[in-house]
Amino acid sequence: MWSLSPGWAVSVKDGRLVVQSDTKQMILSGNVPISCCVADRLRDGIPEECFGIDGIFQCLADAGLLCLGKREDRGIYGYFNHFGIQLQDNRDALNNSRILILGLGGTGAIILQHLVGAGVRNFVLVDDDNVDARNLERQFIFHRQQVGQPKTICAAQYIRERNPSASVEIHATRISTPEQTEELLKIVGKIDFAAICIDTPPEQVLANTASVFWTLSIPSIIGGLLISSGCYGPVFDPTRSRTGPNGFRRNYTPSEEFVPGEPVRIAFPPFNTMVGALMASDILHHLAGLHDEVDYDHQIAVTFPLLRRTLIDAMVVPRTQEA
């Protein structure tokens, strides 16, 4: 179905078609006044078999303001279409990607929600924990009736309730060493992206998981929170990042300003949601091919509640020295 590209509004004024976004406006006129039904057709969509592109529609097509796709795809896919990606191309990119989520706590659960909502349907879920009543205030994919059940099984149920055709592989195990990460990847096979949300000190996450994904050319992202701050990113992609996980491990050596330690077990739910949503945003933009919208070179520290963001540079390590 053809329709006006998302991000643009259409109206008819004084017999002319007015098409505008938040920054641009286009006014079209013909030999005869344009009817309001033209605007209605552009809003509602025109079946492909009924639509011959000519006249005013040709002008819109030439300007890149028409898109082809299913009406129900205009939500999340419509956002990406605003950047010039056709709805069908974006849907295929997200539908066909296989995502590994390590850890289904407050951050991992939020990432999962956004990826499922965006149309990702191939998942590998890894967590050795059970649903805990104390965590339901920030892990929204679980229900009170599921307390005590394995998180992986409950998360898979959440996915299939929203997309019965989804493919979900689960592993109720804990990953804490490079060898365990490598063994997991041998079992699960091809992965397009890894979201690392393990309750482990960041310097250990970088060494034990992110560095393995980097070596195998699998894009990944890490993230986590303290009581009043969080940190996420960058997206580690050997084809785009200047340096890999080892370059950021140096940022976690003990100093007067920062002494690494165990994760804090207290969490304010909105902060979990924000960090998880920002990580999901980077993942989706990467999968969609919108690489200019993704930071591949900085960790981003977020201080709550005022959302002050600070870019953290890597201590650049030559690629030949990367693990």
Q: Crossing angle, helix 269-288 and helix 87-95, to 10 degrees? A: 110
Q: pTM (2 decimals)?
A: 0.79
Instruction: Determine the Cα–Cα distance for residues 225 and 141; give it in Å rounded to an integer.
Output: 19
pLDDT at 320 exceeding the cut of 50: no
Note the pLDDT of residue 180.
94
pLDDT at 315 exceeding the cut of 80: no
pLDDT at 30 exceeding the cut of 80: no
Furthest-apart CA pair in the chain: how many Å?
A: 75
Asked if 141 contacts 155 with a C-beta cutoff of 8 angstroms, the reply is yes
DSSP conformation class of 236: B
pLDDT interval class at 93 (50, 70, 90)? confident
Residue 174: both structure tokens together: 């804990």
Instruction: Determine the Cα–Cα distance for residues 306 and 284; give it in Å rounded to an integer.
Output: 25
pLDDT at 167 exceeding the cut of 80: yes
217-226 pLDDT, tens digit per residue, is: 999 999 988 7
Strand ranges (E), 103-215? 122-126, 167-171, 193-196
Asked if 292 contacts 84 with a C-beta cutoff of 8 angstroms, the reply is no
**Which of 22-26, 104-108, 129-133 shows the lowest mean pLDDT across its residues?**
22-26
Instruction: Determine the Cα–Cα distance for residues 58 and 67; give it in Å rounded to an integer.
Output: 12
224: closest CA among 192, 199, 193, 255?
Answer: 199
CA 302 to chain centre: 18
Instruction: Determine the Cα–Cα distance for residues 120 and 91; give it in Å rounded to an integer.
Output: 9
Note the pLDDT of residue 252.
52
Q: What share of the chain is helix, strand, coil (3-state, %, to 5)?
A: 40, 20, 40
Instruction: Determine the Cα–Cα distance for residues 188 and 186; give it in Å rounded to an integer.
Output: 6
Note the pLDDT of residue 62.
78
Helix (H) and strand (E) counts for the chain? 11, 13
pLDDT at 39 exceeding the cut of 80: yes
247-279 pLDDT, tens digit per residue, is: 876 555 444 444 444 555 667 888 889 999 999
Q: Residue 268 carries which side chain, given as an amino acid letter?
A: F
DSSP symbols for 12-72? EETTEEEEE-SS-EEEE--SSPPPHHHHHHHHH-B-GGG----HHHHHHHHTT-EEES-GG
Note the pLDDT of residue 266.
65
Residue 280's Cβ-count burial label (10 Å; 0-12, 13-18, 19+) is buried
